[in-house]
Amino acid sequence: MTSKSVVPKNISFEFFPPRTPEGAEQLRKTREELGVVKPLYFSVTFGAGGSTQQGTLDAVIEIKEAGYEAAPHLSCISSSRARLREVLQLYIDAGLKRIVALRGDMPSGMQRGGDFRYATELVEFIRAETGDHFHIEVAAYPEIHPQARSAHDDLCNFKRKVDAGANGAITQYFFNTDAFFRFIDDCERLGITLPIVPGIMPITNYSQLARFSDMCGAEIPRWLRKRLEGFGDDRKSIRAYGEEVVSRMCDDLLKAGIPGLHFYTMNQSAATLAIWKNLGLAAS
């Protein structure tokens, strides 16, 4: 790609909480490398079922102390009102103003429980408890959430979340821009006007990507799957081809005027920075 893409305003990078001191060190390095892009914020995922919740808090505090805006994710699926109230207070005390509000998925083998069934209820709860303190992002599914009864139901459920008080949405990753543009059109028809930022998954490891995609309902189109499978264990070629495909997709999205990009970084900077450079944005 040779042309320079339009610089998007709303750039964010998603991390997961590190589990070891080495992982924490790696994340610091990644954060500094991605910091040159001047993102609007870094977000940190939250494990439903309690496994990584302290890790989320520790990671966002460290990001904030390094001078960046940080957005903890918060999922409600297995939590009580009292526990969520406590977590919200910890985030407020840490000076955080952004949050990504989700239902979450239970880790396999764990029982579902908690006071809330859907993210809409969490958004309502955050607004009821903390007013306008938080800028709330919610999740959106251009290729339809795997548990939705129908595409129309999923869209109506998304609208409920928006009406409950979300400020913005981040999509599940996709490799099919038509699905994204159709979703945006459907949202506009329903009067949904909040910024919807595409979630971007750099392609670095095909077997991991295939596993994730099966779980979350993101489609790897046949042509892409076949090309990636064709590289076998050749990680270098998978990366190079993945960078080209995802860069081209981001370029198409940016040219269509999307409000920003949210990168699922997997706590690594190289693939995201390569895409950034391909978009002609590296020096901006």
- Measured CA to CA in angstroms, residue 5 lies from 97, 102, 207, 221, 246 at distances of 30, 31, 30, 25, 14
Determine if 147 is a binding residue for ligand FAD (CB under 6 A): yes
Q: Is 219 a catalytic residue?
A: no
Residues 156 and 187 sit within 8 Å (Cβ to Cβ) = no
Beta 70-75 vs 98-102: how paired, if at all? parallel
Q: Give all strands (DSSP E) within the chain, no chain letters.
A: 10-15, 41-44, 70-75, 98-102, 135-140, 168-171, 196-197, 199-200, 260-264
Determine if 48 is a binding residue for ligand FAD (CB under 6 A): yes
Determine if 57 is a binding residue for ligand FAD (CB under 6 A): no
Determine if 148 is a binding residue for ligand FAD (CB under 6 A): yes
Which of 17, 198, 199, 242 is close enough to bind ligand FAD by CB under 6 A? 199
Residues 158-177 touching ligand FAD, rule: CB under 6 A, are 161, 170, 172
User: Which sign does the torsion angle of CA 30, 31, 35, 37 carry?
Assistant: positive
| Residue listed under structure tokens 């860069």 | 247
Tokens linked to 162: 């928006």
Residues 257 and 236 sit within 8 Å (Cβ to Cβ) = no
Residues 201 and 162 sit within 8 Å (Cβ to Cβ) = no
| Residue listed under structure tokens 């520790």 | 58
Which of 104, 168, 202, 242 is close enough to bind ligand FAD by CB under 6 A? 104
Tokens linked to 245: 């495909």
Residues 243 and 278 sit within 8 Å (Cβ to Cβ) = yes
Determine if 78 is a binding residue for ligand FAD (CB under 6 A): no
Determine if 73 is a binding residue for ligand FAD (CB under 6 A): yes
Nearer to ligand FAD, 73 or 239 (CB): 73
Nearer to ligand FAD, 84 or 238 (CB): 84
Cβ atoms within 10 Å, residue 132: 10
Nearer to ligand FAD, 120 or 204 (CB): 120
Determine if 31 is a binding residue for ligand FAD (CB under 6 A): no
Determine if 119 is a binding residue for ligand FAD (CB under 6 A): yes
Nearer to ligand FAD, 114 or 239 (CB): 114
Range in contact with ligand FAD (rule: CB under 6 A) among 83-91, 99-107, 178-186, 218-226:
99-107
Nearer to ligand FAD, 141 or 241 (CB): 141
| Residue listed under structure tokens 């008080």 | 165
Range in contact with ligand FAD (rule: CB under 6 A) among 20-28, 101-109, 203-211, 239-247:
101-109
Q: Report the interhelical angle of 119-130 vs 151-163 (nearest 10°).
A: 0
Give the nearest distance from C-beta 4 to ligand FAD in angstroms. 27
Determine if 181 is a binding residue for ligand FAD (CB under 6 A): no
- Give me the residues that bind ligand FAD (CB under 6 A), please: 45-46, 48, 73, 75, 100, 102-105, 118-120, 139, 145, 147-148, 153-154, 157, 161, 170, 172, 199, 216
Active site residues: 14
